[in-house]
Amino acid sequence: MNACQDIVLSVEDLRVSFCNEEGKTEVLHGLSYQLPKGKVLAVVGESGCGKTVHALSLLKLLPPGGEITSGNVSYKGENIFALSAEELRKLRGSRISMIFQDPMTSLNPIRTIGSQLTETILAHKACSKLQATARAVRLLKKVGIENARKRLNEYPFQFSGGQRQRIMIAMALCLNPDVLIADEPTTALDVTIQAQILKLIKDLQRQSGMSAVFITHNLAIVADVADEVLVLYGGYCVEQAPVQTLFARPLHPYTQGLLHSLVSLKRKEEHLPAIEGYPPVPGSCLSGCPFAPRCPQATPKCREALPALQEKHGHKVRCWLVK
């Protein structure tokens, strides 16, 4: 994990702000991590915690109003933010690809699935149209779409939500990327299909050494695919640890609360130990720890000053209570 060439994606002090009439609001407050080759990093968090914004900024895809105010993202030692538009275009899709959250709006409604899939392949690879089509058919089969060849000529509206999501996944995987950024890739899917997709991603990771940043709110999926977990809350990284450690010994009260409040298939609970309150609105964070208003163990100090991210044996946590 220490050898420099093994790190495929490295993020340093990434800060993102959004501008509106009321001024600038920082929604991501300095995120840093390193993704080694062949590993899966899960980024866990609730709506508004900055996880999607982080994913979009990795490839400079922030919507208008969004701005990367500081930080660096490098791919195999190369600074992504310093690339020209043309270089960035070559990188996107072929070496780093992304699965977007919303399958309904991410596909072009007036073009067939086949033309959208082969477009990506033809744009990045020197091959014939026939070869590209064959590749598209193989991929659709891999993500579990029946009758793949015939369905290439159909339009997005002829597919169900789950199928569209799988087409998005096929598109992201069609050039065997080194890094896959997946933003809630299975939220819209049924558990059976979800299991299939997760297996596909794990297989690719094993076979071709693909790395992935997996953004999700589902801790069971994290347990399935992740090697390392980063917990985001209110735009801050509050905890980061290898997956086994995080589930066995969560240190941050938020992570602890999340893990306790999960419904279990294994046992029947009478009452769930829920975290009180609601997640913060982006940008609303005042001074102090972002979780302090909901934290059962909060002290006056927690409300006044933001704790630093401290590290011990590869387990990082941002909490005053952890010594």
Report 29-48 residues binding another protein (CB under 8 A): 46-47
Name 75's bridge partners: 9, 78
Q: Which stretch binds another protein (CB under 8 A): 54-62, 114-122, 191-199, 205-213?
A: 191-199
Whether residue 179 contacts residue 211, with contact meaning beta carbons closer than 8 Å, is answered with: yes
Burial (Cβ within 10 Å: 0-12, 13-18, ≥19) of residue 236: buried
22 forms part of the interface with another protein (CB under 8 A): no
For 194, phi then psi, to 5°, come to: -55, -45
Contact pattern from residue 128 through residue 167 relative to another protein, giving x for each residue in contact according to CB under 8 A and a dash for the rest: ------------------x-------------xxx-----
For 7, phi then psi, to 5°, come to: -85, 115
Retrieve residue 11's tokens: 């993020």
Binds another protein (CB under 8 A): choice among 3, 4, 85, 265:
265
220 forms part of the interface with another protein (CB under 8 A): yes
Nearer to another protein, 113 or 241 (CB): 241
Burial (Cβ within 10 Å: 0-12, 13-18, ≥19) of residue 168: buried
Three-class DSSP category at 49:
coil
Shortest Cβ 227–another protein spacing (Å): 9
125 forms part of the interface with another protein (CB under 8 A): no
Shortest Cβ 5–another protein spacing (Å): 27
- Cα–Cα dist 196/190, whole Å: 10
256 to 161, 242, 273, 275, 297: CA distances (angstroms): 33, 15, 11, 10, 12
Edge-to-edge strand order for the sheet containing 310-312? Answer: 96-99, 179-183, 211-216, 40-44, 228-233, 236-242, 315-317, 310-312
Shortest Cβ 118–another protein spacing (Å): 24
83 forms part of the interface with another protein (CB under 8 A): no
Nearer to another protein, 43 or 59 (CB): 43
Whether residue 19 contacts residue 65, with contact meaning beta carbons closer than 8 Å, is answered with: yes
Q: Of 69, 64, 53, whose CA–CA distance to 15 is shortest?
A: 69
- Cα–Cα dist 81/88, whole Å: 9
Binds another protein (CB under 8 A): choice among 8, 43, 221, 292:
221
Shortest Cβ 136–another protein spacing (Å): 19
Contact pattern from residue 225 through residue 264 relative to another protein, giving x for each residue in contact according to CB under 8 A and a dash for the rest: -x----------------xx--x------x--xxx-xxxx
268 forms part of the interface with another protein (CB under 8 A): yes
Shortest Cβ 100–another protein spacing (Å): 18
**Which positions lie near another protein, rule CB under 8 A?**
46-47, 146, 160-162, 190-196, 198-199, 217-224, 226, 243-244, 247, 254, 257-259, 261-266, 268-269, 271-276, 278-279, 281
